[in-house]
Amino acid sequence: MFKKVHNNLALWYKENGRHDLPWRNIDDAYKIWVSEVMLQQTQVKTVLERFYFPFLETFPTLQDLALASEDEVLKKWEGLGYYTRARNLHKTAKLSKESLPLTVTELISMPGIGQSTAHAIAAFAYKTPVPILDANVKRILYRIFAVTKASDKELWKMAYAFFDEKRPYDFNQAMMDIGSIICISKIPKCQECPFEDTCKGKYDPLLYPQKKIKKARPLRKKNIIIHFYKNKLALQQRQSRFLNGLWGFSEYNQHEDINFTELLGEITHIYSHFKLHARVHLYHSYIDEHQWYSLEEIKELALSTADHKVLQLYLQKISFKV
Ligand code: SF4
């Protein structure tokens, strides 16, 4: 049914595909898995420029990752956000021992590996003839079939219906490229698209999929205090689900009384589900239930981006004094 479209896609991929991406044309399941997990919430350019190579330099193999501490893994993930991904990578590495599982079903049983990631690992590392279904591929399918809404089950059905079983590997790679270069979210380049003849959504692609109404992120106002004592700063390792395992300074809601502190400035940071606005204070005092670190030692800890902004205010303050 899609023979001509598949031929067009194969031709397009040969001439325009991003064949030089480091996780392409390799069969190392570990490296492919790391790239897939990083790319879930982050653009290719950022992953390539800042994260993929340093992570693999520190943890070149699955065994290296399994033997690392969670602190080391989080430190290497610092700045990528969505830290559950890093913790699950680590858990799966520890469970896997020698190598990642070889089938989609076994892959899905591992922490943090859903159907989409399992298919991507199986398709790219083991050349299993299964379609992939990341956010980019979903968008293409919505548009090709002119569907405004679909459940995951329906999307998988569309993915299988559209799949090129004769050239599964190139098909999947090409779909990823079309999704990130051509059928992009805001201004799809239909005239350059190998699906132009077939695509039912090309007359008004932005209708597909139907946009979700975005709720405004709630604002959380906090006071953050840097406790300073004998040339060390107090930090706590977060035990909460949010930012679990990362180190941070003491946070208080803004209605709580904060006395005898020196205001260093303010920071804002946007998380996926709220916006943080915090006043940052310096407090020369000892505090229990925290651990104390010098600036040199803090460099070794994994901090969230917001806590790095807090630390930056402190560094500005001391450099001003010097
Ligand atoms: S023709 Fe346009 S809308 Fe359809 S898949 Fe290609 S880029 Fe997307």
Question: 239 by DSSP, 3-state: which?
Answer: coil
Is the model's pLDDT at 266 over the cut of 60?
yes
Is residue 36 part of the annotated active site? The answer reads yes
Based on the number of CB atoms within 10 Å of its own CB, is 296 exposed (0-12), middle (13-18) or buried (19 or more)?
Answer: exposed
Among 181, 199, 206, say which to mutate for ligand 1: greatest number of ligand atoms within 8 Å of CB: 199
Q: Which residues contact 146 (CB under 8 A, 6 or more apart)?
A: 200, 201, 207, 208
| Full-model pTM | 0.92
Q: For 26-39, what is each residue's pLDDT tens digit?
A: 999 999 999 999 99
Name the helix (H) or strand (E) containing 251. Answer: strand 250-253
Pocket test for ligand 1, best of 141, 143, 177, 189 (most atoms within 8 A of CB): 143
The ligand 1 atom nearest the CA atom of 140: 5
Query: 176-224: per-residue pLDDT in tens?
Result: 999 999 999 999 999 999 999 999 999 999 999 999 888 899 999 999 9
What is the CB < 6 Å shell around ligand 1?
Answer: 140, 143-144, 182-183, 188-190, 193, 195-196, 199, 201-202, 205
Distance 185 CA to ligand 1 centre (A): 10
Residue 71, classed as helix, strand or coil, is helix
Residue indicated by tokens 């039912």: 200
